[in-house]
Structure 1
Amino acid sequence: MNKQVKNVMVLAAVVGSLSLVSCREAKEEDSATPMQNEMHQENMDHDMDRDEPMMDDQDMDATSAKFKDDKTAEIYNHYIAIKSALVKTDATMAQDHAKMMIASIENTEVNAGLVSAARNISTSSDVNKQREAFSQLTASMETLLNGAIASGEIYKQYCPMAFEGKGDYWFSNSKEIRNPYYGDKMLKCGRIEATIK
């Protein structure tokens, strides 16, 4: 009888030890998961040339595109400033640049969608609502940009994960991906869909 009790106790100790080891391994796997997700996000940015140094925001905001008229250039520069604010998840900066865009649009013939989207960004302090309006702003900007570039290029970029997997676009001066729909959460998630010349 004592021998059976000893065997049961030894067996219980072995099972207990295995449980502790397996929990510790599960925790180590869980802690590795965020890094794996970050690596996956980095791998999604297949358009970025790995040999080029990272560009800072000021370099990325400078455009090589020259526009046929100054008013379009001014409106586009405000668009890029709004995009940069959303990349930084800065609702106040997005509001300020949207207000400047609205002032630039006055006395010009632009589509109503551009004015409406800029107004929605300028009146909201909720960055998620601003990002929704930015989607509309981008669609309206595309109409404005068609045939407006005299030289240089602008990149139309796409994030397949934006808006719960529906995906959405934005314009950029750089091939580097800086996602305005996710900011720091998925900064480099996206790809170049087209080059506008």
Structure 2
Amino acid sequence: MKNRLVIATLALATMTGVYSCKQEKKKETIKTVERNHEDHSSHEKKTRHKETAGSITFKDDKINNAYGHYIHVKTALVNTDAKEAKNGAGMLIKALAEVENGEKATDFAKKIEAADDVEKQRQAFSGLSGEFAKMVDGQIASGTVYKQYCPMAFDFEGGYWLSSEEEIRNPYFGDKMLDCGEVKERLN
């Protein structure tokens, strides 16, 4: 009887671990090339996660530029790097000044730039993501933008974000639940 109870407990624990979004992934260090947006030169940097907007092009070069900075902010939040999120938001604000109807997105980017707390940045990023989804819809010339969703974000209210890759890298939880979420829509 004890053996059956132990086996049942182990089976339940295994199933829970497999299906849980809370399962932690081991941290990887990936060598990446990060673009310096001010002088357009490149330098190598060690980081846990990197994403570029390189495989996606938009009909409007101004949106293309802004989306690259959006991805910069998203990657900083995936890496739970508040300082880098602030830097990316500053560059995004400048890029959005050139984008038609970018005012609401700019307001959210300013909140990210002003915040030192990564959780406050993540809250503002949720609004920024909603505005970017509207901005890029119908503007993609080539490639795919993935609209992704985590049901556990913001105390189970859920949160969306955009990604250049199908693989889930959650900006709302970072390393705590890196792969929690799903692709809800493919924009192309």
Choose between structure 1 and 2: higher helix proportion.
Answer: 1
For residue 20 of structure 2, give the secondary structure of its aligned residue in structure 1: helix
Output the amino acid matched with 2:65: E
Aligned to 2:66: 75
Cα separation, 2, equivalents of 1:156 and 1:131? 16
Could you list the runs of 5+ residues in structure 1 that have no partner in the other structure? 1-24, 45-55
Cα separation, 2, equivalents of 1:110 and 1:129? 24
Of the three residues 176, 181, 184, the one matched with 2:167 is 176
Could you list the runs of 5+ residues in structure 2 that have no partner in the other structure? 1-5, 24-47
Contact 1:41 1:186 in 2 (8 A): no
Aligned to 1:191: 182
Contact 1:41 1:188 in 2 (8 A): no
Aligned to 2:20: 41
Does 2:15 correspond to 1:57?
A: no
Output the amino acid matched with 2:52: D
Cα separation, 2, equivalents of 1:151 and 1:166? 32
Runs (4 or more) in structure 1 with deviation over 6 Å come to none
Aligned to 1:3: none
Max radius of gyration: which structure? 1
Does 2:146 correspond to 1:155?
A: yes
- Indicate how the Cα distance of structure 1 residues 36 and 84 shifts in structure 2: closer, same or farther if over 3 A, else same: farther
Of the three residues 92, 108, 129, the one matched with 2:83 is 92
Cα separation, 2, equivalents of 1:167 and 1:107? 31
**Identical aligned residues as a percent:** 42
- Indicate how the Cα distance of structure 1 residues 37 and 87 shifts in structure 2: closer, same or farther if over 3 A, else same: farther
Output the amino acid matched with 2:161: W
For residue 147 of structure 2, give the secondary structure of its aligned residue in structure 1: strand
Deviates more, 1:121-130 or 1:35-44: 35-44
Contact 2:21 2:177 in 1 (8 A): no
Q: CA deviation at 1:42?
A: 5.9
TM-score, normalised by the number of residues in structure 2? 0.75
Q: CA deviation at 1:113?
A: 1.5
Cα separation, 2, equivalents of 1:36 and 1:125? 38
Does 2:108 correspond to 1:129?
A: no
Q: CA deviation at 1:64?
A: 2.0
Aligned to 1:103: 94
Equivalent residue pairs, number: 155
Contact 2:73 2:84 in 1 (8 A): yes
Aligned to 1:66: 57
Deviates more, 1:179-188 or 1:99-108: 99-108
Cα separation, 2, equivalents of 1:64 and 1:163? 30
Q: CA RMSD in A?
A: 2.5
Aligned to 2:104: 113
Aligned to 1:48: none
